[in-house]
Amino acid sequence: MIKNIAILISKIKNLFYSEKFVNRLILFASLLIFTFLLSSRHFLFHTIIDDNDVSRINVTASKKVEVEDSDKTRAKKKYESLKIKPVLKPIPDNVNISIRTELGETLNSIQQIRDLQIDNSEKRKRIINLFDIKEQNYFVNLVADYLYMSSEADFSKLATNSLGVLNRILKKGITEADLLENKDEIIDKQINNSFSKTHRIAISFLVKKVLEPNMEEDKTATELAVQKVVSEVKPVIVTFEKGDMVVSAGERVKEVQKKALKKLGYNVNRLDLTGITGILSLVGLCLFITVYYLKNSESCFLKSPYPGLIALLAIVINIFAVALPEDVYPYVIPIPAIAMLLTIFTSSRVALLVTMLILVMLGVSLQYPLEYIFVFLLGAIIAIFTSNSVNYYRRMDMVRAGFDVGLIQMFVVLVMFLLQNNTENIDLKLMVMKMFMGFGNGLLSGIITLGILPLIESTFKIITPYGLAELADHNQALLRRLQFEAPGTYHHSLMVSNLCEAAAEAIGANPIMARVAAFYHDIGKLKRPLFFIENQSYFGIENPHEKLTSRLSKMVITAHPKDGVELAKEYGLPPVVHQFIIQHHGDSLVAYFYRQALESEGSENILEEQFRYSCPKPSSKEAAILMLADSVESAVRSLKNPDQEMVDEMIDKIIREKLVDNQLSESPLTQKDLKAVSSVFKRSLRGMQHRRVKYHEDILEELNKKNFNGIKQAQFQNEIESKVIKLKESIEENKSEG
């Protein structure tokens, strides 16, 4: 029973400490926090307006504010647009000719009826049918009688006058609307009053029968004319001087008063449950897109501490945006800084995606105009590009990147301002102010990024190129200790770092990471520096391993990776460096002491596994390069009077042995990479091997002259002997306890 409870407790503990659980907790917390923040401007602060848009209190202006009266501006624009008459254009297809032709055919038909030898009543009937008149009245009969009874001279005059009236109307232009509204009036205006009444009525009948529109509205030209007039209408500005009553208690609040209240810092918005649900859905969608992308494209950033970092940066920028007063332009929000930080700590693609989704959430929830969205979006894109191209050894490059972002944002502000305004009513003062705010935002983002980088690095334990550049400084505490307490190891680390950097560049790995890892890979030797041959030769002491068994010597030597990790943690080195320290030997064989043990104890009493490192194998290209460079540098340095051929053979031998021993089985190095690494090692090590002049016979005497910590040869020897005794006693105690 107790065992089952223990197992259950263990499973629950593992669940709560699992990475999936932590990520889900971060996701759920982010959903709630984002929703609360983006909704807070609407419901967190007490609003002065009730549900019926009635003010609860008297509000007087605490400062001078100017706001646009949108209703009056809209009404003024509509009034001006109604003044614009439609722009007309001729109807194609020769409509004027067809109208005149129809008039001629009508007159010709009347003439034929006049020439018929039939009674007058039949002629009248046919003429009336010609005009397609359903209801007959006095004027219809009058015109019909006139048309068949008039003399040839009068009829000819009627034809001429009718054509003249028609031509004048067509020349002036007539639309379908004109025909529907005042057709008779248009025709009557063109008939000469000196004609007899019957003659005028007959002309009107003839023209009315054939008249059709010969003009139509040019909707595009009319719309352009309306837009031109509307764009020239200046906004109606209402000014509230300091001390003026903006709204009284119990008064229904108008739109212009709401704008004034917003500028005075009052909350006038309301958000009901439906609105909060909408914001929750928007935030949930954005988080889903982010997680989906990371899971399917860049899953490495779903591992701790990246989800927490991404969420924290997004939350901070949301807090900044929500807390910003409504009368302050959003250009002060350092959106490019978020893009830069995400680029440095994650990748360009993640930075672009997250920044775009942040802009979507802020733009929709806080109702930002498109102007700000476009400026920040283009600024963020440039921020991502420039952050990828900076030189991490020069910190001011990040400020220069911010300067470039500022220039782009200033240009985009200018473009947006020109697109939204015309040359006649453009506000130059406002335009210049917004341009400088866009520039200042970019420059400030670069400075913020530069200042906050170390804080994020130390908090989240994420190493960046900037952090690597700092770790490469030889004034770092651990490197200073290595230089004075284990100078031989320090020199060896310098040589290895040069090999690692060159090899990493050759195969497309991270050269800065490889170089820094090489500096620190042997810091574990600081616990027992005199037990390593490179330091023994430097101080000129006897080899303490001559007084130890092979097994004890192996234990001392193989302890330095784990000792190094302990020192790295003590001095606050980032976890990524720990991996290089613990992996740079893998589980390789300590060959010298293994052979020594075989000679002294016999092969039947020795297992090879007893003389191997108990460390993980290299899991990255940089770690594998470090393992090879460490082995190659030590092996080549051990050669006496090496020539070029000996160096090349030794390098090939070391790489071949590591492959056969499966030390590179977990690293992503390919055969092509190994050939490139081998070539770089050969080229670099050839230059390191050259003869040196022996300046002094007694190195210990020379060290005393330099006053190297006042240590003499006898003191070194005594220190070694005491450490050997302590080491034996410690091992014996461990055996008795075990």
Q: Domain spanning 275-462: which CATH class is it, in words?
A: mainly alpha
* Average predicted confidence (pLDDT) for the chain: 82
Q: What percent of the chain has pLDDT over 90?
A: 27
Closest CA to 290 of 608, 471, 34: 34
Q: List the structure tokens of 515.
A: 């170089």
What is the model's pLDDT at position 703?
A: 42
Long-range contacts of 509-516 (CB under 8 A, 24+ apart): 509/620, 509/621, 509/622, 509/625, 510/622, 512/392, 512/465, 512/468, 512/469, 512/472, 513/463, 513/468, 513/576, 513/622, 514/622, 514/625, 514/626, 515/472, 516/468, 516/471, 516/472, 516/577
Does residue 53 carry a pLDDT above 80?
no
Does residue 269 carry a pLDDT above 70?
no
Q: Which helix (H) or strand (E) holds 59?
A: strand 59-60
What is the model's pLDDT at position 354?
A: 95
What is the model's pLDDT at position 576?
A: 86
Measured CA to CA, the distance from residue 470 to residue 463 in angstroms comes to 10
Domain ranges of the chain: 51-64+241-270, 88-214, 275-462, 467-690
Mean pLDDT to the nearest integer, 656-668: 91
What is the model's pLDDT at position 443?
A: 93
Condensed to tens digits (0 to 9), the pLDDT of residues 275-307 reads 788 889 999 999 999 999 999 988 888 888 899
Measured CA to CA, the distance from residue 602 to residue 596 in angstroms comes to 10
SS3 68: strand
Omega of the bond leading into 330 within 30 degrees of 0 (cis): no
Does residue 254 carry a pLDDT above 70?
yes
Does residue 572 carry a pLDDT above 70?
yes
Q: Output b/e per residue, 533-557; b: 16+ Cβ within 10 A.
A: ebbbebbebeebbeebbbbbbbbbb
Residues 6+ apart with CB under 8 A from 667: 617, 618, 619, 620, 621, 623, 624
What is the model's pLDDT at position 698?
A: 47
Q: Does this model's pTM top 0.85? A: no
Condensed to tens digits (0 to 9), the pLDDT of residues 126-171 reads 877 877 776 667 777 787 777 878 888 888 888 888 888 888 888 8
What is the model's pLDDT at position 498?
A: 92
Greatest mean pLDDT range, 14-23, 490-499, 642-651? 490-499
HSE at residue 287, side-chain half, CA atoms within 13 A, is: 23
What is the model's pLDDT at position 134?
A: 65
Q: Choose the weakest-confidence range: 47-61, 296-310, 369-383, 651-665.
A: 47-61
- CB neighbour class for 370 (10 Å; exposed up to 12, middle 13-18, buried from 19): exposed
SS3 286: helix
* Residue 725 vs residue 55, higher pLDDT: 55
Does residue 666 carry a pLDDT above 80?
yes
Condensed to tens digits (0 to 9), the pLDDT of residues 493-549 reads 999 999 999 999 999 888 989 999 999 999 999 888 888 878 777 777 777 877 788
- CB neighbour class for 526 (10 Å; exposed up to 12, middle 13-18, buried from 19): middle
- CB neighbour class for 230 (10 Å; exposed up to 12, middle 13-18, buried from 19): middle
Condensed to tens digits (0 to 9), the pLDDT of residues 428-473 reads 788 888 899 999 999 999 999 988 988 898 888 888 877 888 888 8
DSSP readout, 506-549?
HHTS-HHHHHHHHHHTTGGGGSSGGGSHHHHHHHT---GGGGS-
What is the model's pLDDT at position 694?
A: 44
CATH of domain 467-690: 1.10.3210
Residues 6+ apart with CB under 8 A from 448: 334, 337
Q: Choose the weakest-confidence range: 41-50, 211-220, 360-369, 579-588.
A: 41-50
Residue whose structure tokens are 């080549």:
636
Measured CA to CA, the distance from residue 74 to residue 251 in angstroms comes to 23
* Residue 723 vs residue 381, higher pLDDT: 381
What is the model's pLDDT at position 417?
A: 79
* Residue 650 vs residue 209, higher pLDDT: 650
What is the CA angle 175-179-182, rounded to 5?
Answer: 120
